[in-house]
Amino acid sequence: MWARAQKHVPKNHEEIFIVGNTYATLYYRSIRNMNTIKIKRVPVSVITKFKLWRQGKPSTRGRLQVSAKVGLFYSTSTGNTEAAAEWIQEKFAKHGDIAAPVDICEANVSDMQAFDSLIVGAPTWNTGADEGRSGTAWDDVLDELGALNLKGKKVAIFGCGDSVAYGDYFCDAIEELHAAFEPSGAELIGKTDPAGYDFSDSKSLVDGKFLGLPLDDDNEEDKTETRVENWCVQLVSEGMK
Ligand SMILES: Cc1cc2nc3c(=O)[nH]c(=O)nc-3n(C[C@H](O)[C@H](O)[C@H](O)COP(=O)(O)O)c2cc1C
């Protein structure tokens, strides 16, 4: 879902960059309602503002959209988790101040500490594995997550999987992310009831609850919007804003 860059930024919009280690993503953000349109990905080397920020000039940092209260980070291989993150951004924005979704492979893990709360999501690809279940960039930073200081902050996790073809391992990566964040001191919220899901087993089902929100765009894409909508309401009721 990329839009073409315009010579002049559209009226009532500003340019912002979400900056990772290698690439930065350019968005146009409405100054009226903060809605963002994803424009293009560019090497960070071409972004002067990023260079300034890296040199420790925090005045540019607001342009990186870490001014939002809730950070939204995901990983993806085929786009489902990114699409889910976009649903979450849209639905949560009705209740609170949420940043545009950022692919964790484009982010510095330490950037997460700038937010009051976090919503993070991962697919499950590494079927049956104990470690590295997402098969994505999260697997490289799991240890770093636990080393963050997120005391007093809330973290909620969503995941994408396939409850039919991989019904014995449905959304296993949610539990791995959950365990990775625990040492950070964050309060982990957003557990969900498995009623309404048809699966055999999941490492993410603990004491009768999923440790986050599982989504299945392979078989139940029509349920994703409502599941996300309800979950966002739940997160707000659990104090995320
Ligand atoms: C080879 C392969 C292995 C998979 N393993 C699992 C799995 O263990 N558990 C699960 O719930 N889904 C599994 N899936 C389904 C993906 O997690 C699902 O399609 C997900 O939506 C992909 O998200 P993404 O597009 O963000 O990468 C697997 C899919 C493939 C093709």
Residue 210 Cβ inside 6 Å of ligand 1? The answer reads no
pLDDT of residue 165: 97
- Among all chains, which residue has been given the structure tokens 């590494």? 126
Atom of ligand 1 nearest to the CA of 214: 11
- Provide the mean pLDDT of the chain: 87
* Ligand 1, pocket-test mutation among 127, 164, 210, 218, most atoms within 8 A of CB: 127
Domains annotated for the chain, with CATH where assigned, are 2-48 (no CATH), 70-237 (3.40.50.360)
pLDDT of residue 64: 43
Distance CA 68, CA 216 (A): 28
Residue 197 Cβ inside 6 Å of ligand 1? The answer reads no
Lowest mean pLDDT, pick from 3-7, 27-31, 226-230: 3-7
Residue nearest to atom 8 of ligand 1 (CA): 127
Three-class HEC string of 79-112? CHHHHHHHHHHHHHCCCCCECCCEEHHHCCHHHH
